[in-house]
Amino acid sequence: MAKVYRPPVTTRGIDPVVAACRADETVDLDDHDPRERFDWHKAQGKADFVTEIAAVSELQRRLFAEEEAALLVVLQATDAGGKDGTIHSVMTGVNPAGIDVNAFGVPTDEELRHDFLWRVHAHTPAKGTIGISNRSHYEDVLVARVKGFAPEPVWRRRYEHLRDFERLLVDEGTRVVKIYLNVSKDEQRERLQDRVDDPDERWKFRSGDLDDRALWNEYRTAFRDSIREATTDDAPWYVVPADRKWVRNLVVARILRHHLEAIDPRYPPAEEGIEGVVVG
């Protein structure tokens, strides 16, 4: 039987300033400063990040060896919010054999012929691995809502489906962590402009980004409601300040380390009789 790893109350105590949203509180994104730095200093923060990543890498090796639990990390943000950069930075040094990154974009015709979770469930992490969703099953209460692809009665009932889906994953041995990269509208503008101005980054920009930017307030409301409606003790949401990339990276690394330590993976015992074997 799969082990069930449920976050203890101390999930809020990853760091005195890095805490999960709680199921019993009302989340207001206006209370979260995208430029927050927690009185950290950049040089020390970057040094601390190296320490955190070394710990994450060791824990991931144990997770991969033990093969008894999995970790699903959901990353959500507006365009240019830093999802790709976060994955690149935080997964540095981690064994790629134990990482599965999936990006959920516009559903294909085949995917649209199934329920909205069909394409997601097929990519949940196997035991011993860390799965990262670059966008995720929450697109169906974000984009589908803001763009009008689903009527309100449809997207509103999906919150319950999302909670049940994540409870199923937790009960079967997958720890679920959801991270919203909280970037400001001004910072998004600068990052989008940088993409236009840099020939090597221009491929990332599409004209539709401007259409989505015009819907900033609508997306902000949809993100807020998703966090409010789908924050549970089993699958917590974190609102991470994302204007400063070094702060974002350190916070996310600490979140991953905290949850991997809660899983507490161990190297399996060696085969009996191996000690003292001489390889000729």
Mean pLDDT to the nearest integer, 123-143 = 96
Domains of the chain: 9-263 (3.40.50.300)
Predicted confidence (pLDDT) at residue 23 exceeds the cutoff of 80: no
Do 49 and 57 meet the contact criterion of CB atoms below 8 Å apart?
A: no
9 to each of 92, 159, 172, 180, how far by Cα in Å? 29, 23, 21, 20
Tell me, what's the pLDDT at 114?
A: 96
Main-chain phi, psi angles of 260, to 5 degrees: -65, -40
20 or 140: whose pLDDT is higher? 140
* One-letter amino acid for residue 147 of the chain: K
Helix (H) or strand (E) holding 239: strand 237-241
Q: What percent of the chain has pLDDT over 70?
A: 92
161 or 106: whose pLDDT is higher? 161
Predicted confidence (pLDDT) at residue 4 exceeds the cutoff of 60: no
Of the candidates 135, 138, 126, the one whose C-alpha atom is nearest the C-alpha of residue 169 is: 126
What ranges in 129-244 are assigned the alpha helix state H?
Answer: 143-146, 152-171, 185-197, 208-214, 216-230
169: tokens are 């994953």
Predicted confidence (pLDDT) at residue 15 exceeds the cutoff of 60: no
State the CB neighbour count (10 A cutoff) for residue 253: 24
Of the candidates 255, 270, 262, 216, the one whose C-alpha atom is nearest the C-alpha of residue 18 is: 255
Mean pLDDT to the nearest integer, 128-140 = 96
Lowest mean pLDDT among 43-52, 98-107, 216-225: 98-107
Count helices and strands in the chain by DSSP H and E runs: 10, 5
Residue 190 backbone zone (phi > 0: left; psi -120 to 50: alpha; other: beta): alpha
How many residues in the chain? 280
pLDDT digits (tens, 9 = 90+) for 73-85: 999 999 999 999 9
pLDDT-based confidence at residue 18 (cuts at 50, 70, 90): low
Lowest mean pLDDT among 26-30, 186-190, 191-195, 235-239: 26-30
Identify the DSSP state of 91.
Answer: T
188: tokens are 């998004």
Name the pTM for this structure.
Answer: 0.91
Our measurement of the distance from residue 177's CA atom to the centroid of its chain's CA atoms, rounded to an integer in Å, reads 6
44: tokens are 């020390």
Helix (H) or strand (E) holding 273: none
Considering just the CA atoms, what is the radius of gyration of the chain in Å? 20
Cβ neighbours for 145, distance < 8 A, ≥ 6 positions apart? 152, 155, 222
Q: Helix, strand, coil shares of the chain as percentages rounded to 5?
A: 50, 10, 40
Mean pLDDT to the nearest integer, 273-277 = 87
Tell me, what's the pLDDT at 17?
A: 52
pLDDT-based confidence at residue 219 (cuts at 50, 70, 90): very high
Tell me whether residue 116 is exposed, middle or buried, using C-beta atoms within 10 angstroms of its C-beta: 0 to 12, 13 to 18, 19 or more: buried
106: tokens are 């516009």
Q: How far apart are CA 88 and CA 224, in angstroms?
A: 26
